[in-house]
Structure 1
Amino acid sequence: MDEREINDKEIEIEEFQDDFDEIEFSDETSVESILSDNYLNDKLNEVFAGKIVRKDLTKKIKEGANVPVYVLEYLLGMYCATTDEESIADGVKTVKSILTENFVRPDEAQKIISKLRERGSYTVIDKVAVKLNFKQDIYEAEFSNLGIKNVPISEKYASDFERLLCGGIWCIVQLEYFYDEADKNRCPFIIRKLTPVQMPNLDLSEVLKGREQFTKDEWIDVILRSVGMEPSKFSKRVKLLLLARMIPLVENNFNLCELGPRGTGKSHVYKEISPNSILVSGGQTTVANLFYNMSNKTVGLVGMWDCVAFDEVAGITFKDKDGIQIMKDYMASGSFSRGKEEKNASASMVFVGNINQNVDVLLKTSHLFDPFPEAMAYDSAFFDRMHCYIPGWEVPKYRPEFFTNDYGFITDYLSEFLRELRKSSYADAFDRFFKLGNNLNQRDVIAVRKMVSGLIKLIYPNGKYEKAEVEEILRFSLESRRRVKEQLKKIGGMEFYDVNFSYIDNESFGEEFVPVPEQGGGKLIPEGLHKPGQVYTVSRGKSGMIGVFKLEIEMVTGSGKFERTGIGSDREAKESIDTAYRYLKANSKNISGTISTATKDYLMHFQDLNGIGITNQLALSALVALCSAALHKPVISSLAIIGSISIGGSIIKVEELANVLQVCLDSGAKKVLLPITSTVDMITVPPELMGKFSLIFYQSPEDAVFKALGVE
């Protein structure tokens, strides 16, 4: 190469470098990711040729064509399964032309039939279902949008395309019309040729073999792009949450709940991705529609679909009084009884809805199932059937860049693949590596195994996985079920105490506990010393739930007035607080000679921190707060006061001690002041719970004040 040629090459390289430097990359984009995306697209085209489609093409055509996504993507897969832009453009034109000329819209059915009669032949795109007329021993077809039925069809199509016999599939059909005057009972419609535009059948071995060509991360990206998402915009954690939404599509009788902010795509998978799932909008339904119609003896939605999803859980209502009970029965066993018959079905149940407030606030004031309707909101038996609770607040609100423009599986191919996976199970996938801890009861074990099985099917459908990969899935499954159990503990108390889920390594015998992220912070009873006059007490509120209440006393120079704010007009609460003030006036010298109720005014403010309604067990905690303010001395750190006193100063025993202590723990208390009379109930408290506190017993109101203020 001479010197001039070398100079020319250097100029070309410099120009390329200048062009490359002008490319603006976002924070989440890198050269490696661009190369990786192209590599993944090329690999998909190579391994699954004809089974993939570029998702941006779907978006462009879908906007102008009222046709099911799975039909549209099948056509795009036929004509646009290439990386050549010119060929793709030609393919898009062909698809648009086919849809314009041949897709049957229900309102134009008679016009199409008229054209068929006039021309003698016509090609249509419609959903075709086939049944065997056993009286005449012939197969007959029914056209969904065209509205014609009992059309004879060759048995060859029924045997080659079995899905025609299972509810029907969309097809391109060449029809002919011949009216026979001699035989007027003969159907004039003739099927000359039928070509499915959905997957007529699925070779599962093809998918499993193709999976081996991809790494774990590549395969997850393929699955997410197949449902329209752009995985490069999500963290690993969010990817796992998005995959968890698909478990009901691959696992029989799987009950899933996802509550979170609006705009995070909670119902997208169940409405747009699979023709085998149905979204019940608004939540209103009947037992006949959902389970079994006794008048015509037909099974409802749970028998017709792989997945039944309820949108907007707050609106779930049954016109039948026994609707929720039948749903609970079905969610627990996959069967239900109507009349004299018991029916089985395999449909999974999904509940999605919105949380209208910050999760931290909701955890402090209620529970994470609070958006459910009142008939369900405190039904622990119903929520115990939930196998998984997806934290929807962790999924970012969808933006345009979250939707992919790269290649993914044709929707129909993906949905059939997912449906085929329902026939297998990987519930025992972790048994050779791990065993579950002692805190899991039978329902917990079933839930965790179902989740593990579902995620293994999605990520490792060929059954090839390593110990570390199973452990990742197991931890996520334990967390998702524990989230359910943590809320049940708030609703049902000690019955659901065992929430410390763990797993044990079969080799090292080491036990790993799995936390729930949102339970970590935001304690109602903060650590450290509070200002004088500020105390926290735990007792049962008007609603029947046990919660935390905060009392704050301000003392100023005055004439012995005592005022209360925050308790409204509740007579019992006022009497309880007045009992504390009267007791202080009568017995202040027994506590300290410096306390004055004649020359000081006391203002008490009450707060219901859990929003469960005011309590009438305030006398003792109010007395401690009054003394703390009067002596300018704060109570000891992280203290919860429980118990109360009568007008005469008698100690009142704590009811449901174990449940009260559990709320103390959940609220952040590290020390608990409780009456000596409650020692008889200590046997009802699990040893693990009792070991979480420093328990301080008091024998009299004065004793309680001294110990609360740390006075020896």
Structure 2
Amino acid sequence: MISYNSNLVQDVFGNLSIDKTRLPSSGLTAVGVPSFVAEWLLDKIVPGSGTLTSTELEKVNTFVKKAFPRKDDRNEIIFDLTQGEVRKLIALMQVRVRLEQGSKEIPDPIARIPVLNLSDCAIPLGLIERNKMLLRQGVWGKISLAMQPDGKVEVIDFDPFQCSKVDLQAYADCRARFNTEEWRDLLFCSMGFNPQHPSYNQESKTWVLARLLPLVESNYHIMELAPKGTGKSFVFENINSKVALISGGKVTSAQLFINGKTKEVGLLGRHDVLVLDEVQSLTFDNPEEVIGPLKNYLASGRYNRSGFADISSDCSLVMLANIELDEHLQPRNEDNIIANLPNFFAETAFLDRFTGIIPGWKIPKFQREMTSYQFGLKMDFFGESLLSLRHDNRFISYAQQHTKFDKNATIRDQNAIFKSASGFLKILYPHLDLTLMDYQRDCLEPAQKLRQEIRNSLYYLDDEFRKFGREVYVEAK
């Protein structure tokens, strides 16, 4: 194993890199601040390296108490506003336009600040024009609040925290200064994992990095099945506000698609990645209202609900589930690893629409010493770089030109493997400087393995798929 070169990371990326020991010692994530915001703040408030000193920690704590509201601060903040004060706070803000049926007037947009349960704030159009992402997933930033004479809370200023557009050519040029192993370890470290830990071999690193595929590829739908404790949801919770995570329980069609009462577009239409966690316990009030439109969406990137026009989206859907392993740390139902998931997964028309299954049982359980402590990319820059690669078609073209299938591969198999191979190219070779052997080893083989897990279950569940044989054969050309 090569030693990790933090100096190289600092030399190449400068202030876009950060010492990853800063965040765990700050306690910011414990108060609900996602990493992509927390690392940005640390660099502003207490720039430096190493674990935070007691003085730095006090400075961060003072700042958090002053700037980060808790739900029970709502009344106090509103009281201050009634006294003519301007309150500044750091939080996630979203903007919505409510269309009233039959109304002749176009309503003003309203701002929401979920942490304070404020859902009806006035906001100037200029602030929305400058920050259009407020209309989609919402944006973290510094919000200035005041009260209008009529008693309505108003957002009078907004300073976004998140990284703006990324220069992909500069990102590719930076990649060229690392060899592949150094780059893989940098990405691994940037995700929050320690690349030097002996439990992580190259294969387990590949499957951890596979969690980034839905960010770099649009309409990329994948599952990860793993025992508890492998850190399945960690990166999705912390990388970018364009990624939404719902954990277990009931999911409604209004949440996912469109709310019939408010006409508000659901999560699939607003985010770049939607993650359903703990899907082994997922339930729907009206399954047919969800599964039908979801199947259409997985196949076409469009969905509708009765009475509404089609909505197109490039949102990737990720499903995470816990599964049981046997004494050899393999899935108990090796032929059909989705056996313990809700029944709709066993419908082959649904399952076949997924690109692949990440074999999370090949990723070691996460321990405290597996946290990264080297210099990695700041999470906001890292997440935005990955998302910026979504619409670059050079990578899928490369995959199509350099991939040869055996005749037993279905069109869905081929498209799935093309997308996964393209995704691995974007993650590991954003400069597109690689040999055919690199492509075979680092992109095509893991892409085939992801799809093979789907094929295994399809083969087990339905005679129709047995005529194709079990294995998908593919090679670089």
Cα shift readout 1:381-401 (whole Å, capped 9, x = no counterpart): 222112111112111111111
> Taking structure 1 as reference, are residues 143 and 316 closer, same or farther at Cα in structure 2, changes over 3 Å only?
closer
Cross-structure match for 1:232: 196
- The residue identity in structure 2 corresponding to 1:438 is K
Partner of 1:389, secondary structure, is strand
Contact 1:291 1:299 in 2 (8 A): yes
Cα shift readout 1:506-557 (whole Å, capped 9, x = no counterpart): 4xxxxxxxxxxxxxxxxxxxxxxxxxxxxxxxxxxxxxxxxxxxxxxxxxxx
Match of 2:291 among 319, 324, 328: 324
Cross-structure match for 1:650: none
Alignment of 1:207-356 (within 5 A): 207-233=171-197, 234-322=200-288, 323-339=290-306, 341-356=309-324
Give the drift of 1:422. Answer: 1.8
- The residue identity in structure 2 corresponding to 1:411 is M
Structure 1 distance, partners of 2:247, 2:423, is: 25
Partner of 1:314, secondary structure, is helix
Cross-structure match for 2:450: 480
Q: Which has the larger radius of gyration?
A: 1
Bigger relative contact order, structure 1 or 2 (CA pairs below 8 A, ≥6 apart): 2
Contact 2:242 2:272 in 1 (8 A): yes
Alignment of 1:620-699 (within 5 A): none
Give the drift of 1:97. Answer: 2.6
- The residue identity in structure 2 corresponding to 1:407 is F
- 1:407 to 2:375 alignment: yes
Partner of 2:196, secondary structure, is helix
Structure 2 distance, partners of 1:137, 1:97, is: 40
Match of 1:100 among 65, 79, 82: 65
Alignment of 1:28-427 (within 5 A): 33=3, 37=4, 40-60=5-25, 61-62=27-28, 65-83=31-49, 92-115=57-80, 118=83, 120-129=85-94, 143-145=113-115, 147=118, 150-151=121-122, 153=124, 155=126, 158=128, 161-173=131-143, 184-185=149-150, 191=156, 194-233=158-197, 234-322=200-288, 323-339=290-306, 341-358=309-326, 362-363=332-333, 367-377=336-346, 379-425=347-393, 426-427=395-396
Structure 2 distance, partners of 1:207, 1:161, is: 24
Structure 2 distance, partners of 1:190, 1:112, is: 13
Partner of 1:469, secondary structure, is helix
Contact 1:318 1:324 in 2 (8 A): no
Give the drift of 1:108. Answer: 0.8
Structure 2 distance, partners of 1:116, 1:394, is: 53
Partner of 1:428, secondary structure, is helix
Partner of 2:230, secondary structure, is coil
Partner of 2:431, secondary structure, is coil
Structure 2 distance, partners of 1:328, 1:136, is: 34
Structure 1 distance, partners of 2:154, 2:474, is: 64
Give the drift of 1:140. Answer: 7.6
Deviates more, 1:484-493 or 1:306-315: 306-315
User: What TM-score comes out, normalization by structure 1 length?
Assistant: 0.58
Partner of 1:229, secondary structure, is coil
Give the drift of 1:470. Answer: 1.3
Contact 2:223 2:356 in 1 (8 A): yes
- 1:465 to 2:430 alignment: no
Cross-structure match for 1:499: 470
Cross-structure match for 1:689: none
Contact 1:261 1:392 in 2 (8 A): yes
Structure 2 distance, partners of 1:165, 1:302, is: 14
Cross-structure match for 2:101: none
Contact 1:79 1:92 in 2 (8 A): no
Runs of 4+ in structure 1 deviating by more than 6 angstroms, as ranges, are 135-140
Give the drift of 1:188. Answer: 8.2
Partner of 1:209, secondary structure, is helix
User: What TM-score comes out, normalization by structure 2 length?
Assistant: 0.84
Cα shift readout 1:431-486 (whole Å, capped 9, x = no counterpart): 44342222211000110011011111111223333322211211111122122112
> Taking structure 1 as reference, are residues 163 and 504 closer, same or farther at Cα in structure 2, changes over 3 Å only?
closer
Structure 2 distance, partners of 1:441, 1:266, is: 29
Cα shift readout 1:290-347 (whole Å, capped 9, x = no counterpart): 2233344333221122222222332232221413233222222222342254332222
- The residue identity in structure 2 corresponding to 1:387 is T
Give the drift of 1:76. Answer: 1.3
> Taking structure 1 as reference, are residues 499 and 102 closer, same or farther at Cα in structure 2, changes over 3 Å only?
same
Structure 2 distance, partners of 1:309, 1:266, is: 10
- The residue identity in structure 2 corresponding to 1:99 is V
Contact 1:308 1:350 in 2 (8 A): yes
- The residue identity in structure 2 corresponding to 1:65 is V
Structure 1 distance, partners of 2:359, 2:21, is: 29
Structure 2 distance, partners of 1:137, 1:361, is: 54
Structure 2 distance, partners of 1:280, 1:431, is: 34
Percent identity between matched residues is: 27
Deviates more, 1:262-271 or 1:452-461: 262-271
Partner of 1:125, secondary structure, is strand
Cα shift readout 1:401-434 (whole Å, capped 9, x = no counterpart): 1111222222222222222222223222234434
Partner of 1:124, secondary structure, is strand
- The residue identity in structure 2 corresponding to 1:97 is T
Work out the number of aligned pairs and report it: 460
- The residue identity in structure 1 corresponding to 2:266 is G
Partner of 1:58, secondary structure, is coil
Q: What residue ranges of structure 2 are gaps of 5+ in the alignment?
A: 99-104
Partner of 1:297, secondary structure, is coil
- The residue identity in structure 2 corresponding to 1:500 is E
Give the drift of 1:117. Answer: 5.4
Contact 1:429 1:470 in 2 (8 A): no
Give the drift of 1:257. Answer: 1.7
Give the drift of 1:376. Answer: 3.2
Cα shift readout 1:265-310 (whole Å, capped 9, x = no counterpart): 2222223333222233225212222223334433322112222222
Contact 2:121 2:153 in 1 (8 A): no
> Taking structure 1 as reference, are residues 458 and 100 closer, same or farther at Cα in structure 2, changes over 3 Å only?
same
Cα shift readout 1:600-655 (whole Å, capped 9, x = no counterpart): xxxxxxxxxxxxxxxxxxxxxxxxxxxxxxxxxxxxxxxxxxxxxxxxxxxxxxxx
Structure 2 distance, partners of 1:151, 1:337, is: 30
Give the drift of 1:210. Answer: 2.6
